[in-house]
Amino acid sequence: MYQWILGHITWPRGILGLILVSLLALYWFTRVPSSMPRNIPTVPIYISLLGLWSDMGQDDIYDRWLREPLERYGAVKIWFAGRWNVLATRPSFLVDMFRHEDVYAKAGSQKKIPWSVIASLVGDNIINSHGETWRLYTSIMKPGLQRRITDSRPLLEKSRKFVDIILEEQQILGPDRGVLVNPIIQRWAISCMGIHFMDVDLEAIERPGQRLEVLQTIIKMTLFHPLFFNFPQLDRYPYIFRQRKVAFGIMQEFGDLLCETVKQRPSHDETADGDQVVDYLDRALKEGRITEEQYRANLKVTFLTAHENTQQLLNSTFWVLGQNQDIQQRLRAEILATGEEDPSTELVHSLPYLFAVILELLRLYPPVSQLINRVTTSVAVLGGKVAIPNRTWVGWNAFGVHTDLSVWGSDAREFNPDRWGKDVKSIQNTLRSKTTQCHFIAFNAHSRKCLGQGFAVLQMKILLFEMLRRIEWTVDPQYEFKLTSGGIMAPLGLRAVINERSR
């Protein structure tokens, strides 16, 4: 009988042993390395994993677990993308990080997790490259990214179509139900990106359901899956995790379709505003200055960033101005006072309150709220206070910087466009000063400041001019505000009740 019992508890012992070994391996993998800085706190790893069982928004997560240690110490150790990193929000730390590119080198997923799904999507590109490679990409792409746009008509046409569509959607839904704005916003953003960076009218706003546009929704859901986002090591095993095999296929399909689309675009006469990004990339590939892989990576990252950030900023715009009717009315008054229906780029750039509203939206709702894409190239002391070992990834949290009372004052968490200034020149001076001091990092800062910043702001100005001129809106009373739990920051599933203004 005794022998029989022993024989039957062998399997439970084996299972318990396997569980114990697995737990020890997990602990070893997720432990904080002893070399990490000791004079800053560690954010418990479960905070990074909340998305596995919770749908809390980024603002709630930050306020509950990150704000106090970051505002007290200026930096923390945090789990992100399968490793422990240093995350900073103190402006003096960020100035050090951004100014010393040789010490805190740009290094994205292609360096951090080269086997991952996200690395297969973005590759080695202008945003995450470093040194000579970055200088090469910049020399090729900067003229296209920063070209001065004098002809506002293409953006205005897309903006008018956007307003037409949301009015049509509202008419279908009736007055008691708000329009789900994000899908329409995404189509508008992709259309604007196409005509100004890819030299092709993708007609995403006019023809919904196109594969390139559909893939964007799939990609965002795929990349920010909490399990794989925090443990990208699992992407090494697509034969075990079938959804990752599918994910790799989606990234490949997107790259192939995008390249095919731009290479087959109809030839256009040279415009007054000069060549576009794709034109410069085409020439660089033909001349052998970049490889096919580098061409694809930079084409894809241009597509993604040139539509995603304005897409999510516009989602936040619907929320903020839909809740703040006084601000919406004041902005509308500034726009209507121009007496124009076909605004030029010069006209929209002359409107101070329009500029200030956009900057304040970027301050409180920065689409890229957190980014950890720099790695130390040697032992470093961040801001002269935090000793960081070599080959440690470091980054920043813009939402934290932008809502810190010690940086922006007692009303830091309130929407107040007047804080930027009363006229365009003073607003520009404030923006320049706040960016240099790293009080405002929505477009990054110093040598790696976003090259597409000017286009993003112009795009928003043109659309808001058209929107405020033609429609009024409020947030659907049944909508419950919640920000995304990770990745890009924006309200989730926002619905707005749209009313056409009498003209």
- Which residues carry a binding-site annotation? 450
Contact between residue 495 and residue 180 where contact means Cβ atoms under 8 Å apart: yes
Question: If phi over 0 gives left and psi between -120 and 50 gives alpha, with beta otherwise, what is residue 460?
Answer: alpha
Which of 443, 293, 424 shows the shortest CA–CA distance to 348? 424
Cα(295)–Cα(282) distance, rounded to whole angstroms? 8
φ/ψ (deg, to 5) at 291: -90, 170
Residue type, 432: R
Contact between residue 489 and residue 365 where contact means Cβ atoms under 8 Å apart: yes
Q: How many CB atoms lie within 10 A of CB 257?
A: 14
Q: How many CB atoms lie within 10 A of CB 162?
A: 23
Give strand pairing partners of 4: none
Contact between residue 130 and residue 433 where contact means Cβ atoms under 8 Å apart: no
φ/ψ (deg, to 5) at 334: -65, -40
Cα(378)–Cα(390) distance, rounded to whole angstroms? 4
Cα(282)–Cα(298) distance, rounded to whole angstroms? 11
Cα(221)–Cα(251) distance, rounded to whole angstroms? 12
The residue written with tokens 């418990």 in the block is 44
Contact between residue 209 and residue 183 where contact means Cβ atoms under 8 Å apart: no
Residue type, 46: Y
Output the CA angle 368-370-373, nearest 5 degrees. 100
Query: From the annotation, which residues make up the binding site for heme?
Result: 450
Rg (CA), the chain: 24
The residue written with tokens 């910087």 in the block is 401
Sign of the C-alpha dihedral computed for residues 333, 334, 337 and 340 taken in this order: negative
* Full DSSP string of 77-93: EEEETTEEEEEE--HHH
Cα(467)–Cα(473) distance, rounded to whole angstroms? 9
Q: Which helix (H) or strand (E) holds 375?
A: strand 370-376
**Which residues have a Cβ under 8 Å from the Cβ of 248 and sit 6 or more positions away?**
117, 120, 238
The pair of three-digit structure tokens given for residue 447, joined into one six-digit string: 């040598």
The residue written with tokens 């279908």 in the block is 172
